[in-house]
Structure 1
Amino acid sequence: MATIDVEEVRRLSDLHPKPALIRFQYGTAGFRTLGNTLDSVLFRVGIIAGLRSKKLDGKTIGVMVTASHNPEPDNGVKLVDPRGEMLESSWETHATTFSNAATTEDFLFVLDAFVKTAKIDLSKPARVVYARDTRPSGPALVSAFEDGLKAIGAEGRDAGVTTTPILHYLVRSINTKGTKDAYGEDSEQGYFAKLSEAFKKLVAGRATPPPLVIDCANGVGAPAAAKLSGLVKENLLLVLENTSTTTPGALNNSCGADYVKTAQKLPPSLASKLNAGQRGCSLDGDADRLMYFYIDEGGKFHMLDGDKIAALVAAFIVELVKTAGLEGQLNIGVVQTAYANGASTKYLAERLPVKCVPTGVKHLHHAAEHYDIGVYFEANGHGTVLFSPTSQDKLTTYEPSTPAQSTALTHLINLMQLINQTVGDALSDMLLVEVVLAHKSYSGVEWDSLYADLPNRLVKVVVADRTIFKTQDAERQLVSPPGLQKKIDEIVQRYDGGRSFVRPSGTEDVVRVYAESIFRPQADELAFRIAGLVYDETGGDPAQRPKEFM
């Protein structure tokens, strides 16, 4: 029976000591905090990734070093299971335990106990594919991670600097290679070929739209978008902006999907780059979020967020399924979170089932899997469409009886190829949006007019301890701190069409307050009144109090 080389683990672990007084937590997006504190975490993630692979009979596990939309000093790491999905939740707890062992000896004790209780056969092979975004802290963290792979005897494949969605794609492609479920060629080139070929088939014969401006957030989406641009240029001209991946401090700085969603305005760097009516979109730092927008003839900014994308895409898929003659044979549903605009929920609920789940990709993804075709998008622009094995079989074996049915069926099959079903993917989703706009002959204006967003505002509140905030009802109601929800309800009742909820962030040391109302000034005022209430009730640094209502 194979055993762990304890002396090798000890030797390498001593090179990556855990910093004192820091507690790490594997959350919605894996581990995420200041990059200069994560050295020990990356080493231990290398070991747990190897053990996860051994537990799953040598299937390849993915590891992505990124902090997505966070500021450049932050970094993080997450593990990806064999089908490109998020790490099984029970292992999130194990990863947290590993990361918080105070010393090498403590870590060795935890490691030994885990191998025994999880019944891991150490003689099994371990295979891990990993990648990173463009953050300056990335190379050193990857080096620590590689020491972890070495310590556990895992075989590593370095996918280099690439987007998070490409890493997820690689994981599924590697693990399905040579099977009936083969997902694609297991390379970055295979990813781009799969997407671009499906896109070209879907827009064949359609009018070429005006150029699309892409804000690449000065992140890893820039080189990826450049590669994609060369493959689709005959059908879609992409104009890349914010592509400075080596300029210190540029990543996600006043640009990117999170900036657009939070500030609800155009990135300053695009002010002179976007013509009236022209479509633009923003990726985030690791290219798994997408935010569309346009400027109208009067110079007003219009945001087309994840809710708008869900409405556009879901309605299109419902239409194709109906035209293909498959209505009633495939159940289609949309999954949202409490952050979804009330107007989008109303629009969608009139057309197909809508389910609300807690914030976090894993919650949306799992809920979407219960439909034959599940559409999920967070308002922040992260989302995708899942086709169940049943729906894939149905689409590939169904025999259409008319030319119109045949055409619609072909479109659905090509959509399955275009959409990255492993995770939200800004570039894949961008092409999906462009397909629907081409088929409907929509500009951003027509798309925007599907429904009118209720004015809303999102405010971050720095509190003394975010862990005291507990929620229920898909995070729409606070149960802790006691009595706070009742006070929130009393304030909300004073506003026309008012809605607000409070939840602790899964990725930052803050609490988030969302509010919406029929009128813009009321939505803003409601958000800051609730933020002020939360701050006053839970304490914190006076300098950090939400400023609008001091």
Structure 2
Amino acid sequence: MALALTLSLSSKSSHPKIGEKIIQYGTAGFRTLADDLDFVMYRMGLLAVLRSKSTKAVIGIMITASHNPEQDNGVKLVDPHGEMLNQKWEELATNLVNVGDENLESVLLDIIRSENIEISEQGEVFVGRDTRPSGVPLLNATLDGIQDLQGESRDFGIVTTPMLHYFVDETNKGREIWVSSYFAKLTKAFKNFCKDISISGDSYHPKIVFDGANGVGSIKMEMLANFLGEEFLEVELHNAGKGALNFECGADFVKVQQKLPRGLEELKPGDKGVSVDGDADRVVYFYVDDNNVFHLLDGDRIASLVAGYINELLQECKLKLDLGVVQTAYANGASTKYITESLKIPVDCVSTGVKYLHHKALERDIGVYFEANGHGTVVFKTAAVELIQKVANDQSLSSSERKAAAKLDSLLEISNPTVGDALSDILLVESVLRSKNWSLKDWEAAYTDLPNRLLKVTVKDKNAVTTVDAGRKCTAPEGLQDEIDKLAQSYPSGRSFVRASGTEDAVRIYAESDTQENANELAAKVAIKVYEMAAGVGEAPVIPAM
């Protein structure tokens, strides 16, 4: 086996390892400058084949750097059910990428032995990429790795990250898939949900002004809009590929900067603005009021809207299913209070990272999870869906119970249960707003956010900062948490935490308080402490003038 495997790596010399810095498979897989990724992609092609042989299932490879600048790229593997890569295999990926070329074959053999992989098993890998120019050469490196271990590949070309997750999951369930089937599933469910809902008055309008971040989201949203038809959803496309990817646009820009994206500066008061990120797994809503003041409705708002409506439907069809919401420490404190106290829905807090939210949500019959950045979805147990469908078709029940169950069934069918999906989530939001006849202003009126601020401090080594309690308490450097607590206590409704970035040598700071000025000042003061105590590099943060 060793000789055959060694001889099979015929492309290894074309993808030599560069650099000595240790890189880790983080929450977003591997992500860095595209020029540094060739050997990483080759090795992930190799690993994906082994993972496929180990699980006897199709594995996915998505080539994307999501909301990062266009010069970056990255890779993440998709496991058999469309979920993130198994944590043990994340460690194997890190080890495989950091080993020298001379030891590559022996490390592969170690994986084969430790995981009891039968090398003669068929290995199949689905590959997708976003619109970055670097995606093509990195795809070729990936395919070389797949081929060197005799794996079969299927290249889906330019797709959203959620689409690739969906394709992997559906195929492993034994269903035939093609790109159009994804759109057909979403539009059929959305039309079923909308068929008995009449639109009246001036509150809800079936139109969105769409910011595609100059990425794949604009391409696929145009396809989705064509499947739907304007009577169901009119889409006005902006940032559809003529500008740089994610440059002053997209969900991350709008969330962090809390202002209109480039190209939508003339958004009319009341229009529904929607931004997705570079690979279309995040979405945020926004609008400007009559005084031209910007209003953001982020992932926290989406979670409360969707979970609250699901809860209403469960009550209408008299089903006692276990519904819960999962958030991270980045969730606005006002949203958590609203969900738990007003909606009476339990909330779990987990560490930052989609895999943590997803796994926790799966513990419920119906789990709703959204990060504040707009990444999230609805997951559900098969038994729960079967029970909902049973109620929807039970003629002995009242028409109102059956109708509520049918709506709930359609709503769950709209969601992409494998991962956060911007296009799917847009239809989820539009379904609820349409049913309630709500404008964005109506939606926003449910509760008032605490003003907050996100900052980032570049450091020599992000691993110098460690946290516990779902990322809410800092354990190193020693004394930093005490300083954060003192600062937060000096502001009304003050709250702040820090955590190491999952993608770069940086520490991220979150702060909230009673006013935006106080939130800004608290974040800046915490950032200075991080800079001083965690070996910050570059320019020190500055406290804004009050």
Structure-1-length-normalised TM-score = 0.95
Among 261, 267, 275, the residue aligned to 2:255: 261
* Structure 1 residue 334 corresponds to structure 2 residue 332: no
Matches within 5 A, 1:174-189: 174-178=171-175, 185-189=176-180
The equivalent position to 2:141 in structure 1, one of 135, 139, 144, is: 144
Count of aligned positions: 534
1:72 paired residue among 58, 70, 73: 70
| Offset, 1:548 | 3.5
Q: 2:497: which partner in 1?
A: 501
1:485-544 Cα deviation digits (max 9, x unpaired): 011111111100100000011123211000000111111100000001110122233x43
Following superposition, the deviation at residue 109 of structure 1 comes to: 1.4
Query: Letter of the aligned partner of 1:451 in structure 2?
Result: Y
2:436 aligned partner: 440
- Which of 402, 422, 426 aligns to 1:426? It is 422
Aligned equivalent of 1:16: 15
- 2:30–2:76 Cα contact (<8 Å) kept: yes
Say if 2:390 is the partner of 1:397. Answer: yes
Cross-structure match for 1:414? 410
Residue 3 of structure 1, CA deviation:
7.3
Structure 1: distance between partners of 2:432 and 2:504: 34
Q: 1:268 to 1:343 in 2, by over 3 A?
A: same
SS at match of 2:237: strand
Contact 2:462 2:504 in 1 (8 A): no
* 1:126 equivalent among 102, 123, 127: 123
The aligned runs of 1:11-410 (5 Å cut-off) are 11-57=10-56, 59-103=57-101, 105-178=102-175, 185-204=176-195, 205-207=197-199, 209-232=205-228, 233-244=230-241, 247=243, 250-272=244-266, 274-326=267-319, 328=320, 330-350=321-341, 351-398=344-391, 399=394, 401-410=397-406
* Matches of 1:516 and 1:431, distance apart in 2: 30
Is the CA contact 2:67–2:250 (under 8 Å) kept in the aligned structure 1? yes
Query: Is 1:522 aligned to residue 521 of structure 2?
Result: no
CA contact (8 A) 2:46 2:146 kept: yes
Q: State the secondary structure of the residue aligned to 2:454.
A: strand
Alpha-carbon separation, structure 1, partners of 2:422 and 2:520:
29
After superposition, what is the alpha-carbon deviation per residue over 1:456-501, rounded to whole angstroms, capped at 9, x for unaligned?
0000111121111100011000001111101111111110010000
- 1:77 match: secondary structure: strand
Cα distance in 2 between the residues matched to 1:255 and 1:277: 20
Runs of 4+ in 1 over 4 A off after TM superposition: 1-4
C-alpha contact 2:48 2:59 (8 A) present in aligned 1: yes
Q: In 1, distance between residues paired with 2:308 and 2:3?
A: 55
Counterpart check, 1:6 vs 2:3: no
Residue of structure 2 in register with 1:181 after alignment: none
CA contact (8 A) 1:461 1:544 kept: no
Counterparts of 2:156 and 2:135 in 1: how far apart (Å)? 13
User: What amino acid is aligned across from residue 535 of structure 1 in structure 2?
Assistant: Y
| Cα separation, 2, equivalents of 1:74 and 1:188 | 26
1:287 alignment partner AA: A
Q: Please tell me whether the aligned partners of residues 67 and 77 of structure 1 are also in contact (alpha carbons under 8 angstroms).
A: yes
- Maintained 8 Å contact 1:65/1:142: yes
Q: Structure 2: which amino acid aligns with 1:106?
A: N
1:547 pairs with 2:546: no
Deviates more, 1:503-512 or 1:351-360: 503-512
Structure 1 residue runs without a partner (length 5+) = 179-184
| Structure 2 counterpart SS, 1:547 | coil
- Output the CA distance in 1 between the equivalents of 2:83 and 2:268: 39
The Cα of 1:4 is off from its aligned counterpart by: 4.2
CA deviation digits over 1:347-385, x for unaligned, max 9? Answer: 001221100000000000000000000000000000000
What is the TM-score when the length of structure 2 is the normalising length? 0.96
Structure 2 gap ranges (5+): none
Tell me how far apart the structure 1 counterparts of residues 119 and 441 of structure 2 sit (CA, whole Å). 58
Query: Contact (CA 8 Å) 1:3, 1:122: kept in 2 or not?
Result: no
1:176-203 deviations in Å (ceiling 9; x for gaps): 125xxxxxx5111000000011111111
Instruction: Give the whole-Å Cα distance in 2 for the aligned partners of 1:395 and 1:383.
Output: 22
User: Equivalent residues in 2 for 1:444-523 (5 A)?
Assistant: 444-523=440-519
Code of the residue aligned with 2:212 in structure 1: it is: C
User: Matches of 1:49 and 1:79 in 2, distance apart?
Assistant: 7
Shift of 1:396: 2.5
Please give the alpha-carbon distance, in whole angstroms, between the structure 2 residues aligned to 1:49 and 1:3.
21
Instruction: Report the residue type matching 1:344 in the other structure.
Output: S
- Alignment partners' CA distance in 1, 2:236 and 2:480: 48
Alpha-carbon distance, 1:209 to partner: 1.5
Distance 2:409 2:3 in 1: 47
Determine the C-alpha separation between the residues in 2 that align with 1:547 and 1:107.
46
Counterpart amino acid of 2:179?
E
2:64, 2:261 → 1: CA distance? 22
Asked if 1 retains the 8 angstrom alpha-carbon contact of 2:465 and 2:534, the reply is no
SS at 1:268 equivalent:
coil
Contact 1:194/1:418, CA 8 A, preserved across alignment: yes
Tell me the distance in 2 between the aligned counterparts of 1:402 and 1:321.
Answer: 14
1:5 Cα deviation from its structure 2 partner? 3.2
Equivalent position amino acid for 2:24 in 1: Q
Within 1, Cα distance between the matches of 2:3 and 2:285?
52
Q: 8 Å contact 1:4–1:122 — kept in the other structure?
A: no
